[in-house]
Structure 1
Amino acid sequence: MKHAHVVITALLAWSAPAFGRAKDRPRIAVIGSGIGGSSAAFFLRQELGVQAVIDVYEAEPQAGGRLLEFTYLNSTYEAGGSIIYSGNRYMSDLATSMGLTKVEPPKTLWRYGMSLFWLKRTVAKALDKFLTIYALQNEGFTFATPAELWSKIGLNDYVNMTIADHLWSAVGEHTLLERELVYAVNRVNYNQDNDLNALAGLISLVTLVGGDLFKIKEGNAKVAQKLLGVAGARLHFEVTVTGVASTDTQQYKLLAGNESLGEYDAVLIAAPLELAGIAFNIDGATDPPAPQHPFQTTHATFVRGRLRSEYFSVEEGKGMPQTVLLTEDGQGEVFSSIALYERLEDGDGVYKLFSRKPLHTGLLDGLFGAGAWRTLFHRRWSAYPKLQPQHSAAAPPVILYAGHGIFYVNALEATVSAMEVLVIAARNAALLARQWLAADADGADASAAAPSLATEASSSSGGSSGSGSGGGGAVPSLDVQRAPPGGGSDTGADVVMGAADVLVEL
């Protein structure tokens, strides 16, 4: 792919948008500081300018949500969301613009015949449609429900069938590739089988049509932390929001138990409502149906030891592979995948094991030898919604209450759960929030208040930096808005300011 260099400049001088509801200094609350919440804060700063007050509430003591790493012997290991596709334009560009280092994760090689060709073609068709999202968002397109987005870009039918059924319709048979590669990738990515919806399944396979995978050397959670710094958000850690209530002044009060956390002109919820336990009290509004999407439990376990070849019936002397993935024929196994993350000086390996249940001692003795292993880290996650086919209209709305400024970032996750999808959803919520805040009592067109987000671009190749026939032209501008200095949260958390000029390689 050809490269272009785009200098992203902080627009400190453009005139602020007019806010009909919030006057000159809108206050916005973001609940959750994972990649959805942090990128929502970032895009809110872009859309609302330096005068907006952005408060981010997080129940945990650090930002990152389901992005989490731990350190062992000076090495950082990803225990949550682990890998990023280079074609994910928001995640890739944001990581670069924040000065973070991209490194390659361990690779897996596959060998299949013509069925791989047909699978690549099927994935490419879906990817071309998905890539049109970026151009649409650059033009200000917003969606009030996931169904509006998937219908707009021609992917709605993919949500309504399983990946197995979709591949059957495309290839005409159930192939070895489907039972092995597709099944294994879905177990690794979602800990789910080939009965998940076709859109989620195909997005898991995007590297088949080009591009690479990467992770962040400093830890993927650093993307979220850096975004919050650039956004100049006030951070409130170890605060669990339990309620959102409307007020007589057309604002929204956030509650932690009986304690008021403040009143806001708009609220963005960037945490799964199925897990967050937030109660709503919105005068004159009918509560939307509570999301009923069960979440897939995933256990991430890091073990130090040496895999026994006998467990896998590998002939002596041939050596153990670095990655073990579960195929459809291996569904009886407790683990979903095993990956060697690092080989230590004494010959031991640091392995990451995914499973649906805790790994018992007997299994680990079988894998590594009795008493010859040590657990370094374990985390139980409610990692992803169960992504079975559903009518996309069954997904929760983004605008939770018609005529109100409460926006649900994670609504899109009911159909596809991925870091890039949450960033797309976050930008959509920020656009909707600006439209809501800019609307005045006379119902003026909110889009008229949109600031112009200009970039300076100089091409090192003279060609386009887009990829894929559905790329929609230029990569989204990521103009950095610096918040006023002297910020800081009520809980004492520091606000790290972003640089005015950031070089992004696209």
Structure 2
Amino acid sequence: MIVRTLSVKALLLLWIFYSCRSLSSSQELREPPTKIAVVGAGIGGAAAAFYLRQEFGPGVKIDVFEPGEVGGRLATAKIGNHEYETGGAVIHPLNLHMKQFIDKLGLSTCKDVPSKMAIFDGSELTFEESDWFIVNFLRMLWRYGLNYLRMQMWVESVLDKFMRIYQYQQYSYSFTSVERLLHAMGGDDFLRLINQTLEETMIAEGFSQIFLNDVVAPMTRISYGQSVRINGFVGAVSLAGADSGLWSVDGGNKKVCSGLLYHSKSELIRARVASISFKARPSKKGPSSSFYEISYVDDAGAGHSLYDIVVIATPLHQGKSDILFSGFSPAIPSQFPGSYHQVFSTLIHGVLNTSYLGITRPASELTVSDVLTTDCKGSALYSLTSADPVHIVTGYSRPPASHSKVWKVLSPQSLGQEELQRMFLSWDSVSETQWLAYPAYRTPIRHTPPFILHSRLYYLNAVEWAASAMEMSAISARNVALLAHHRWHGQTGRIDQEDLHTRLRGEL
């Protein structure tokens, strides 16, 4: 009875403590903002709308501006009766935000179609994956020693630190810069990674140059269309793409974006944002109020609207944006330094000319589906892959290379008729998409763009200069939503805290 009485008293005290703390917290919070704008409806903008609704509640009006298709760089194209991914295609099994999205939205993953990989050096296939794991392992062991196994262990060590961000965000911690976010995950190691090349990083770890040229470079080329001279952090992200269990969304990855916008109860405004201005209004009764005026252009003409908070979820770089900023001190540039890398994504329905790959045996004997390329001079392509529809019907099987089917080619330039004739014996459909897909990664990175452009003006795409990926955009969206909430309510204790990993591990 004594133990039971003490338990009841303890529970009562705990209830009083948390009730008082909740009351105190609610009294300290400001009134929520009235209107929030998100510029861009790609995965970053859609995720930002979702998380902003989660943080600020149902009373806030959220407008999302998008002149093009919802999904941004997540897009599909139709060949025949099926849709195929032309943008971001695969998602890593440890991408927890993307997994949460499809669970929340009731979406499903696309049925897995087994794939095999080959590496092409410009004249012949230097490696072809076998159906047997032990055969692949022995081939790698014979040619590269333990390099491949050590690479997997190195990538796993980076991912272990990367995964800390989910715990930090679960506890509502946010960061004001990309550098602070990376440092919270991986300390000085991650800051070193973004300021030295993948090649420098892996050579220092003891990997051989031939392994980098033959194996690592093809992976960075299919992921980012760039060599091993990209930064070490984005390089680790690309190498994670060699893991098993990669997945995509049934019906197309862009469905996540439209689903998040619907779930966030945002209003989609089909308009191009022309300018963002800072407006201060004096008040006779108290301190002056300030707003952000968004001027936009849609089919009906020009318009404008005022917002308490603005999140920019489109790259502010040459070729990607022409938004003008006015009324800010210090001035905000319309374009930050750096450029985005051009990639052509081409879908071809035709019969592959396997001799283009240096193959002399019958096409029916080519069993690989993904051809990666080494960084050879004058290479016409980054990768050549057998494309599967975004919706796999029951009984689907990938046609063999000897049959007409859809291939996806990633290349630095548009494929002309001459190149198509070299690559294919015949074709009947071609669909080309030109992307400024991700930053042209150069090292060292002196300063990444800031998350905070002004008091309540945020820049989500700053994170791309560490690494560009669907999950990185989702992480940045969550961070910006938390940052906007904490700064609106003056909750500085949740911003830029040091030693979070040690502190949270001690609390658990």
Structure 1 residue 108: Cα displacement: 3.2
Partner of 1:332: 378
Q: Give a deviation string over 1:226-271, Cα, whole Å, max 9, x none.
A: 000000000012x110111111231100012693421000000000
Instruction: Tell me the residue number matched to 1:354.
Output: 410
Equivalent residue in structure 2 for 1:278, among 298, 309, 323: 323
Match of 2:10 in 1: none
User: What's 2:94 paired with?
Assistant: 87
Query: Structure 1: which 5+ runs fail to align?
Result: 1-13, 440-444, 449-468, 474-506
Q: Would you say the 8 A contact 1:147–1:156 is kept in 2?
A: yes
- Hey, what's the Cα distance between the residues in 1 that align with 2:159 and 2:175? 20
In 2, the alpha carbon distance for the partners of 1:366 and 1:84 equals: 32
Contact between 1:29 and 1:264, CA under 8 Å: does it hold in 2? Answer: yes
The question of 1:252 aligning with 2:292 is answered yes
Aligned to 1:234: 267
Q: Which amino acid aligns with 1:122?
A: W
Counterpart for residue 361 of structure 2: 316
8 Å Cα contact 1:105-1:214 kept in structure 2: no
Letter in 2 for 1:351: W
CA pair 105-417 structure 1, distance change in 2 beyond 3 A: farther
Hey, what does 2:198 align to over in structure 1?
163
In 1, Cα distance between equivalents of 2:177 and 2:236: 21
User: What is the count of residue pairs matched by the alignment?
Assistant: 424
CA distance in 2, matches of 1:106, 1:84: 16
The one of 375, 378, 395 equivalent to 2:448 is 395
One-letter amino acid matched to 2:58: V
SS of residue in 2 equivalent to 1:379: strand
> What's the CA shift for 1:24?
4.7
Deviations along 1:458-492, whole A, 9 cap, x unmatched? xxxxxxxxxxx99x89xxxxxxxxxxxxxxxxxxx
Where does residue 212 of structure 1 map in the other structure? 245
Displacement of 1:138 after TM fit? 1.4
- Label 1:85 to 1:105 Cα distance change in 2 as closer, same or farther (>3 A): farther
Q: CA deviation at 1:309?
A: 2.1
2:359 maps to a residue whose letter is V
Q: Residue by residue, what CA displacement relative to the aligned partner does 1:109-148 show, whole Å, maximum 9, x if unpaired?
A: 4542211111112111111111111111112221111111
Residue 279 of structure 1 deviates from its aligned partner by 1.0
* Consecutive unaligned residues in structure 2, runs of 5 or more: 1-21, 118-128, 130-135, 281-288, 389-397, 495-500
3-state secondary structure, aligned to 2:450: coil
> 1:118–1:171: 8 Å Cα contact kept in structure 2?
no
Is contact 1:301–1:353 with CA below 8 Å preserved after alignment? Answer: yes
1:32 corresponds to: 40
2:107: which partner in 1? Answer: 100
CA gap of 1:382–1:204, structure 2 versus 1, over 3 A, is same
Measured in 2, the distance between the counterparts of 1:364 and 1:198 equals: 34
Identical-residue share of aligned pairs (%):
28
Shift of 1:344: 5.9
Asked whether the equivalents of residues 292 and 306 of structure 2 are also in contact (C-alpha less than 8 Å), the reply is yes
Taking the aligned partners of 2:383 and 2:55, their CA distance within structure 1 comes to 41
Quote the residue 1:222 is aligned against. Answer: 255
In structure 1, C-alpha distance between the alignment counterparts of 2:477 and 2:341, rounded to whole Å: 22
Q: 1: CA distance between counterparts of 2:29 and 2:304?
A: 21
Larger RCO (CA under 8 A, 6+ residues apart): 1
Choose 1 or 2 for highest CA Rg.
2
TM-score, length basis structure 1: 0.78
User: Following TM superposition, by how much is the alpha carbon of 1:57 offset from its aligned partner in structure 2, in angstroms?
Assistant: 0.2
User: Deviation per CA, 1:358-409, whole angstroms, max 9, x where unpaired?
Assistant: 001111101112xx21333111010000122223x511000012xx100000
SS in 2 for 1:277: coil
Select the structure that is richer in helix.
2
Residues 79 and 349, structure 2, Cα contact 8 Å, conserved in 1: no
